[in-house]
Chain A
Amino acid sequence: MKPPSFSYLRPASLEDAVVALGEAGDDAMVLAGGQSLLPAMVLRVARPPVLVDISRLTELRRIVIDDSCITIGAAVTHNEILRSEELASAMPVLRSAAGWIAHYSIREKGTFGGSLANADPASEWPCIAICVGATVHVAGGEGPKAVEAGEFFLGPLTSALEPGEIITHVTIPRLDDGEIVVFDELAAQHGAFGYVLVAIKARLARNRIQDIRICVGGCGGVPELVVSDAEEFQGAELGDEVAAQIAEIAIQQLEPDGDRYIASDDRRQMAAELIRRNLLKLGSKPGQEKIGA
């Protein structure tokens, strides 16, 4: 239960990190918090010959909020997001979602960018990033690029990152007046991997739907944006019936694999129920906080 041998590099700047990663070859990996990578190495599922540690790079550890967008550095930890008062007031769902991630000491080291790069279809940030229309900014490789979150995740544990590329930061458009985002998850127990995750961004006027986006995680190889415009539901009053209708329509696009614990259709039904519940919550308590340390 020890990781295989590797060379460890800790460059002093992002620029140096990009150079180091470029020189280290295609199999080199970026080490941020290491909370998914190190278990994979210990289990010998991952055997990178070179690790480039970016966790201390101050350029990647910033949280900036301006009038148009929220910028979160790739090496910002889950607990830093959870504790940021600025983020909690700009977009409360970031705090409530961070509280769902694993446990206290894992959140101290695990990073926002690392979670996106790891591209686990059942993890929180990819689902939220797609729902809120985030953009992932990348350095290295052929040069800086920006990828929409909706196009960043290609399959289970597979992202649009090419060898030699590093996520630097993520930008999220600020919410307009009246827009709210909620996130919820069904898991066997708090801190365990979620069976189904749901993020909903909506704009309501007098409880009537003006705009709505729903992203579901854990029901396929990537989080699925199952509802992306309000056309069908425009002007509908959000109550029990409409919420159930939206949930039914949303899950028609999901084709989750069954596993030994949960059959495929049960997982779809879990998604439907989670969507229904959270649609009904939209009107009442936007950005309801989860407790976290």
Chain B
Amino acid sequence: MMTEQTLPITLTVNGKRVAAEVPSRLLLSDFLRHNLGLTGTHVSCEIGACGVCTVLVDGKPVRSCLTLAVQADETEIESILQAAFWRNHSLQCGFCTPGFLMTLTALFRRNPNASDDEILEALDNVLCRCTGYVNIIKAAKQVRDQLSGHMCEQSA
């Protein structure tokens, strides 16, 4: 049996500096949930199929179950803190919602004017087994319209 290797990591999580000593095999998803208590990030399939555990690493959406905590050394992590899908009834059980919100955050930061097709493509990043996606797509388009409307006002 191999002795467990641990390594020091330093990173920023939701704006706070965090330093920790972690086993090399520790997944980023488990580091956020177990070590930091940030249980807003949900873990579902644990093999990268569903996208529910999506967080942003240096602004890019990644599956935190397919990322080692040691790989997040010297990065900036943003994880889910609150949900805003309520208005469109875009969540039923709510389990996958964090993955959707992080994915949309990354998409709209990159392109606040994302087309309907680009929104659809981005949303296939996450597996939802309740809603049938219709209300999630509706909410995403509404957010896009707000963002791009806002952008137009600013540029006018």
Which residues of chain A have a CB within 8 Å of any CB of chain B?
A: 1-8, 10, 31, 34-35, 38-39, 42-43, 49, 51, 53, 55, 79, 99, 103-106, 108-109, 189-191, 291-293
Going nearest first, the 7 A-B pairs with the smallest beta carbon separation are A8-B24, A104-B125, A105-B61, A1-B46, A103-B125, A291-B117, A39-B47
* Chain A: CB-nearest residue to B48: A39
In the complex, residue of chain A having the shortest beta-carbon distance to the beta carbon of B71: A53
Q: Is the CB of A109 within 8 A of B2?
A: no
Q: Which residues of A contact B7 (CB under 8 A)?
A: 8
The verdict on B153 contacting chain A, using a C-beta distance below 8 Å, is no
Is the beta-carbon distance between A105 and B121 smaller than 8 angstroms? no
Given A5-B25, A103-B124: A42 touches B70 (CB 8 Å cut-off): no
Give the interface size bracket for B toward A. Answer: 35 or more
Chain B CB within 10 Å, residue with most, of A5, A49, A104, A189:
A104
Give the distance to chain B from A28, nearest Cβ to Cβ, in Å: 13
**How far apart sit A115 and B156, CA to CA, in the bound complex (Å)?**
45
Tell me if B's interface is mostly helix, strand, loop or mixed: mixed
State which of B27, B46, B66, B124 has its C-beta within 8 Å of the C-beta of A35.
B66
Q: Is B90 positioned at the interface, with any CB of A under 8 Å from its CB?
A: no
A43 to B46, CA, bound (A): 10
Q: Which of these, B4, B24, B68, B117, contacts A34 with CB under 8 Å?
A: B68
Question: Which residues of B are found within 8 Å of A31, using beta-carbon distances?
Answer: 71
Give every chain A residue within 8 A of B2 (Cβ-Cβ).
5-7, 49
Bound complex: CA A104 to CA B65 (Å): 15
- Most A CB contacts (10 A, CB to CB) among B66, B67, B107 go to B66
Residues from 24 to 80 in B contacting A, C-beta threshold 8 Å: 24-25, 27, 30, 46-48, 51, 54, 60-63, 65-68, 70-71, 73
CA distance A236 to B126 in the complex (A): 46
* CB-based nearest B residue for A38: B66
Residues of chain A lying within 8 A (CB to CB) of residue B89: none
B150 interface residue (CB < 8 Å to A): no
8 more A-B residue pairs beyond the given contacts A99-B121, A105-B54, with a C-beta to C-beta distance below 8 A: A5-B5, A6-B2, A38-B66, A38-B67, A104-B125, A190-B121, A291-B117, A292-B118
**A55, B23: Cβ atoms under 8 Å?**
no
Interface residue SS majority, chain A: loop
In the complex, chain B residues 69-128 whose Cβ is within 8 Å of any chain A Cβ: 70-71, 73, 103, 106-107, 110-111, 114-115, 117-118, 120-122, 124-126
A43→B118 contact, CB < 8 A? no
Q: Which residues of B contact A39 (CB under 8 A)?
A: 47-48, 66
Bound-state CA distance A190–B117 (Å) is 13
Are A5 and B23 in touch, CB under 8 angstroms? yes
Chain B contacts for A43, CB-based, 8 A: 47
Would B121 and A104 count as touching, CB distance under 8 A? Answer: yes
Residue pair B25, A291 in contact (C-beta under 8 Å): no
Q: How far is the CA of A73 from the CA of B4 in the complex (A)?
A: 33
Contact A8 B5 (CB under 8 A): yes
Q: Once the chains bind, are A105 and B103 in contact (CB under 8 Å)?
A: yes
Question: Which residue from chain B places its CB closest to the CB of A293 in the assembled complex?
Answer: B122
B-side contacts of A55, CB under 8 Å = 71
Given known contacts A5-B24, A42-B47, A49-B2, is B124 in contact with A105 (CB within 8 Å)?
A: no
- Taking CB atoms, residues of chain A closer than 8 Å to B47 are 1, 39, 42-43
CA distance A1 to B103 in the complex (A): 24
A105–B111 CA distance with the chains assembled, in angstroms: 16
Given contacts A8-B7, A34-B71, A291-B117, contact A3 B25 (CB under 8 A): yes
A4 to B2, CA, bound (A): 10
Per a CB cutoff under 8 Å, which of B24, B65, B118 touches A6? B24
A-B contact pairs, 29 of them (CB 8 A): A1-B46, A2-B27, A2-B30, A3-B25, A4-B25, A5-B25, A7-B5, A8-B24, A8-B68, A10-B73, A31-B71, A34-B71, A35-B48, A38-B66, A103-B125, A104-B61, A104-B122, A105-B103, A106-B63, A106-B66, A109-B66, A190-B121, A291-B118, A291-B120, A291-B121, A293-B106, A293-B107, A293-B111, A293-B114
